């Protein structure tokens, strides 16, 4: 707790452009929660380098993600908004937490296994250690809640395990965080292969809709989305994964419930439905894109946000780090 508000922490990696999956599962939810919680949002560039990055692109994507956060409605005056590598305490706590985490636990992580398969030529220690750095992020800020997509659930569980393990061995040090997942859209799937999550780094860009996609591209991608052969707009993720995925997306972007969306398309074909989804998404993205472009033209403002963010984040993080150092017996001057 900070004052009378609970602490909320989340982050995204500055890799590629964000997809509407990232928006629905994470960023939109953050915006909705920022009044109720004391919020800290990071740009996780230290996580990003666990997969090889082009330095110029990483730099560019960092500012672009910051501008996108703000364009989506995250208010830097209300929240702490910062770049992970600007706060050394993340790397420092991650090192300590490494000694409270077992190799077997990391080898079992689904994301590690997926990413190892995808980047078989670069299975580096950072890729394996990714969840420990994520635990350090969260625990440094004594976060009560962490809103993420369901793909991060396992990482949240290990964060809780590490926190409880440390608290039991020493004395209560870390708040044990809860994961928070949206009801509709915590896992948006690929438009062409609805058995896979929509990913920023998918091989086929036509399966992912990016926040930066223009109107024609968005509508074209939805037109080509995989459905099924029963021509019935009904939410049934087991038997109708493609249609259900489109319904989740439409529900979030139109602000209607899934049932209302089903009723709207009763007796109508998939062609009408897919066009409506594409239009609803494109309508919402246009103002975000315009605001992001406006912000990106003002580098001094964005740098100022990062500078202020780094200062307040470091102040909070160092408080926790120094507690940890004391408890584990690091001699202090
Ligand atoms: P990649 O796909 O390249 O591995 P990512 O999109 O999973 O990257 P992040 O940028 O770190 O990785 O994700 C930011 C947030 O978006 C996280 O909270 C994550 O859970 C959420 N998220 C990612 N993909 C989806 C999705 N398809 N549906 C819902 N939420 C998602
Ligand atoms: N691994 C996360 C991004 C991330 C994160 C965090 C999310 C890094 N540190 C701390 C929540 C809390 C992902 O979404 N891929």
Where do the domains of the chain lie? Answer: 7-181+299-328, 205-293
Protein residues whose CB sits closer than 6 Å to any atom of ligand 1: 12-13, 15, 21-22, 24-26, 148-149, 151-152, 186-188, 197-201
Which atom belonging to ligand 1 lies closest to the Cα atom of 197?
27
Q: How far is the CA of 84 from the centre of ligand 2 (A)?
A: 11
The per-residue pLDDT for 310 is 98
- Beta-bridge partners for 147: 180
Catalytic one of 28, 187, 197, 221? 197
Return the percentage of the chain with pLDDT > 90, whole number: 94
Average pLDDT over residues 271-296: 97
- Compute CA 313 distance to the chain's CA centroid, rounded to the nearest angstrom: 19
Which pTM was predicted?
Answer: 0.94
Rg (CA), the chain: 21
Average pLDDT over residues 53-73: 97
The CATH number that domain 7-181+299-328 falls under is 3.40.50.620
Please tell me the distance from the alpha carbon of residue 302 to that of residue 60, in angstroms, as a whole number: 12
Query: What tens digit of pLDDT does each residue of 108-124 get?
Result: 999 999 999 999 999 99
Query: What tens digit of pLDDT does each residue of 181-200 get?
Result: 988 888 999 999 999 999 99
DSSP annotation of 126 reads H
Indicate the average pLDDT of the chain.
Answer: 96
Burial environment of residue 333 by CB neighbours within 10 A (0 to 12, 13 to 18, 19 or more): exposed
Query: What tens digit of pLDDT does each residue of 195-229 get?
Result: 999 999 888 999 999 999 999 999 999 999 999 99
Please tell me the distance from the alpha carbon of residue 226 to that of residue 199, in angstroms, as a whole number: 16
Which atom belonging to ligand 1 lies closest to the Cα atom of 16?
3
The per-residue pLDDT for 203 is 87
Q: Identify the architecture of domain 205-293 in CATH.
A: Orthogonal Bundle (1.10)
Smallest CA-to-CA distance from 249 within 217, 281, 225 is with: 281
Query: What tens digit of pLDDT does each residue of 83-92 get?
Result: 999 999 999 9
């Amino acid at each position: 707790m900070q004052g009378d508000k609970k602490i909320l922490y989340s982050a995204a990696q500055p890799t590629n452009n964000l997809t509407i999956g990232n928006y629905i599962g994470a960023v939109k939810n953050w915006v909705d929660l920022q009044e109720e919680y004391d919020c800290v949002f990071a740009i996780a560039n230290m996580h990003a380098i666990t997969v090889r990055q082009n330095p110029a692109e990483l730099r560019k994507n960092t500012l672009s993600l910051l501008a996108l956060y703000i364009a989506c409605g995250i208010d830097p005056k209300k929240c702490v908004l910062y770049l992970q590598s600007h706060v050394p305490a993340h790397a420092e706590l991650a090192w300590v937490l490494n000694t409270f985490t077992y190799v077997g636990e990391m080898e079992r992580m689904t994301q590690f296994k997926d990413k190892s398969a995808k980047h078989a030529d670069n299975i580096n220690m950072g890729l394996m250690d990714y969840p420990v750095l994520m635990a350090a992020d969260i625990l440094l800020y004594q976060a009560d809640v962490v809103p993420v997509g369901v793909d991060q659930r396992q990482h949240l569980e290990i964060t809780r395990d590490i926190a409880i393990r440390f608290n039991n061995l020493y004395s209560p040090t870390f708040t044990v965080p809860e994961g928070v997942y949206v009801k509709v859209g915590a896992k948006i799937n690929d438009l062409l292969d609805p058995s896979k999550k929509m990913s920023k780094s998918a091989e086929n860009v036509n399966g992912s809709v990016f926040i930066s996609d223009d109107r024609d591209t968005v509508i074209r991608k939805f037109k080509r989305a995989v459905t099924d052969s029963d021509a019935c707009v009904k939410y049934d993720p087991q038997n109708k994964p493609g249609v259900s995925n489109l319904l989740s997306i439409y529900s979030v972007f139109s602000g209607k419930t899934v049932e209302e969306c089903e009723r709207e398309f009763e007796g109508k074909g998939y062609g009408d439905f897919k066009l409506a989804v594409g239009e609803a998404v494109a309508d919402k993205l246009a103002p975000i894109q315009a605001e992001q472009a406006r912000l990106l033209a003002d580098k001094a403002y964005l740098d100022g946000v990062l500078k202020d963010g780094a200062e307040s984040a470091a102040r909070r993080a160092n408080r926790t780090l120094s507690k940890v150092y004391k408890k584990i017996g690091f001699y202090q001057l």
